[in-house]
Structure 1
Amino acid sequence: MPSVLLLATFLLGPVIWSFYGSFTNSALSGPNAKNPQFIGLKNYVDLMNDPVFPLSLIVTLVFVIVSAIIGQNVLGMSIALLMQRANHVVGSIVGTLVVAAWVLPEIVAAFIAYAYFSNDGTLNQLLALIGVTGPNWLFSFPMVAIILANVWRGTAFSMLVYQAALQDVPTEITEAAMVDGAGGVQRLIYITLPMIKTSISTNLMLITLQTLSVFTLIWVMTKGGPASASSTLPVLAYHEAFQFGDIGYGTAIATIMLVVGAIFATIYVLLLRSEDQVK
């Protein structure tokens, strides 16, 4: 009961209060800041008529799918598989380099990524050494830059999850498959992946929800620009609530983000349940 009360107070309570706030005209300043009024679905109607919102929703989905579900997940598993075959020294060096980006404070990682992709940054200076003039990545290809930055920073988590999962795969099964003539790809597809399905689903759920809430990295690198080209839902909510002062409207965007996260989480939970039923 104490645990339930704590969760209700510090987790469920703010969610309910935020949900209610999305139906008000609460503002950061002015008369609506002191006496917000209940306005029903007006914020959500305005949201559906806002041309920036569908773009922001698409940008968010692209960011989550490409940088988390594909990027961090696949790269993390690939590194974990390679480290299984590497010697101890190489494995330690690679592991340290990958984890270093993950343990950095998010604001520090964001400034490093900005310095790397900026117009006069490290990437363009490296390209200049081979005679190539690089573009302004944060202006011309903002989504590419923030996706790569998020993959760089978040891959370590997936790598650690898959390292632990791969250690639980019985070696006698893979050795028996090798004796039967199964190649590396066949062993991966028919033995390793099926045996770590639960870890895959759990990892996907965690990195998806984590990536969905990324704010600092995008804000430092592009501030959602140019022209909302990299404005995900958290960035759009911040713009509306704290730059334009419309707290109620910004809270409505945050509620939509909560719904998107719940949809992803539900899909992963259903996958986990189906795996448990098969077992």
Structure 2
Amino acid sequence: MKKKQSGLLEEAKKSVLLMPSVLLLLVFFVTPILLTVYYSFTNLALSGENARQLKFIGLSNYFTMFKDRTVRISITNTLVFLLGSLIGQQVLGFIIALNMRNKNRVFRGIVGPIFLAGWIMPEVVVALCCSTFFGDSGTLNQIFSFFHLPQVEFLFAIPMLTVILANIWHGTAFSMMNFQSALDGVPADIEEAARVDGAGPFQTMIRIVLPCIKNTIATNTMLNTLSTLGVFGLIYMMTGGGPGTKTLTLPIFMYRQAFISQQLGYGTAISMILLVIGIVLSVFYTRIMRND
């Protein structure tokens, strides 16, 4: 009986200690989500009659949204931007981590910070650097001119590819650090045994190394997915969603509707698409890790 009471007392103490964390979670995470969901069913606006009289309008915002061709374009652009960024960041980050593997501390101490420089920069700074590099009179076109190659208007001819490359440069270091840590944990004796059995470098990579770090790959993909879905400043500063709608992603379209057109209710309805995409992909990645 005393042991049971003692156990209950310990559980009560743990619950009390967790209360501040739970309260902060409710205030700064759960409550904003619930308010966003609620406002997406209202006529909330920044100015005008709707700003003075908040009304519940049901699924009206969603009906308008799914009839809007621009919404479909922004969803497509978001998925293209997401896929391109994920492939680039994952592959490039893995290649860099693989080449830094088993290198001495001096080499890793020099190379690592070089790649980290792009990651620690704010999106606005990255956008300014990349705009200067890819601009009509930018560094890359100056290099083309030096070698007598035709110049390219990157931000107008291939804007989506340009912002994807900028985001890859910005986020590759995060993947590099995750893969570097995972590769350092792969047992060297297993790889050595595979080589003794006649496995080549490619077979060792496919059959030994990648299976050992598959959970890291899935986790890194999930984290990069969630961060890439929310990219706003980089694209907005480089192209503003243009030219036309070529780089118009959901965060930019949501900003336009909520703060430029001042239709906050419609803007929050658009944000729900991002939330749903993030949830679906997170569940997908989690199931992959569980199945493994």
Q: TM-score range by the shorter chain?
A: over 0.9
Structure 1 position 139, deviation (Å) = 1.0
Confirm or deny that 1:15 pairs with 2:33: yes
Q: Which residue of 2 aligns with 1:238?
A: 255
Confirm or deny that 1:56 pairs with 2:74: yes
Q: Which residue of 2 aligns with 1:268?
A: 285
Quick one: distance in 2 between partners of 1:247 and 1:241?
4
Quick one: distance in 2 between partners of 1:167 and 1:272?
20
Aligned AA for 1:274? N
2:218 to 201, 221, 234: 201
Aligned AA for 1:54? R
1:125 to 115, 127, 142: 142
Q: Which residue of 2 aligns with 1:186?
A: 203
Of the structure 1 ranges 33-42 and 259-268, higher mean CA displacement relative to structure 2 is found in: 33-42
Q: SS at the partner of 1:152?
A: helix
Q: Please tell me the root mean square deviation across aligned C-alpha atoms, in Å.
A: 1.2
Tell me the TM-score normalized by structure 1: 0.95
Per-residue CA deviations over 1:127-178 (Å, capped at 9, x if unaligned) read 1111122221111111010000000010000000000001111111111111
Structure 1 position 34, deviation (Å) = 2.0
Q: SS at the partner of 1:229?
A: coil
1:43 to 47, 61, 66: 61
Aligned AA for 1:22? S
Q: SS at the partner of 1:71?
A: helix
Structure 1 position 117, deviation (Å) = 1.2
Aligned AA for 2:280? I
- Aligned residue pairs total 274
Aligned AA for 2:219? T
Q: SS at the partner of 1:25?
A: coil
Quick one: distance in 1 between partners of 2:182 and 2:276?
30
Quick one: distance in 1 between partners of 2:145 and 2:110?
29
Confirm or deny that 1:159 pairs with 2:176: yes
Quick one: distance in 2 between partners of 1:17 and 1:204?
29
Aligned AA for 1:73? Q
Structure 1 position 9, deviation (Å) = 1.2
Quick one: distance in 2 between partners of 1:33 and 1:128?
54
Quick one: distance in 2 between partners of 1:126 and 1:12?
50
Quick one: distance in 2 between partners of 1:76 and 1:67?
11
**What pairs with 1:64-103 in structure 2 (closer than 5 Å)?**
64-68=82-86, 70-84=87-101, 86-103=103-120
Of the structure 1 ranges 93-102 and 223-232, higher mean CA displacement relative to structure 2 is found in: 93-102
Per-residue CA deviations over 1:208-253 (Å, capped at 9, x if unaligned) read 0000000000000000001111011000000111111111111111
**What pairs with 1:145-156 in structure 2 (closer than 5 Å)?**
145-156=162-173
Aligned AA for 1:250? G
Tell me the TM-score normalized by structure 2: 0.91
Aligned AA for 2:252? V
Quick one: distance in 2 between partners of 1:34 and 1:81?
58
Quick one: distance in 1 between partners of 2:282 and 2:236?
25
Aligned AA for 1:31? E
Q: Which residue of 1 aligns with 2:7?
A: none
**Structure of larger gyration radius:** 2
Structure 1 position 87, deviation (Å) = 5.0
Aligned AA for 2:52? K
Aligned AA for 1:97? I
Quick one: distance in 2 between partners of 1:242 and 1:118?
28
Aligned AA for 1:142? P
* Structure 2 unaligned residues grouped into runs of 5+: 1-18
Q: Which residue of 1 aligns with 2:187?
A: 170
Q: Which residue of 1 aligns with 2:238?
A: 221
Q: Which residue of 1 aligns with 2:20?
A: 2
Quick one: distance in 1 between partners of 2:126 and 2:153?
20
Of the structure 1 ranges 189-198 and 31-40, higher mean CA displacement relative to structure 2 is found in: 31-40
* Structure 1 unaligned residues grouped into runs of 5+: none
Confirm or deny that 1:212 pairs with 2:247: no
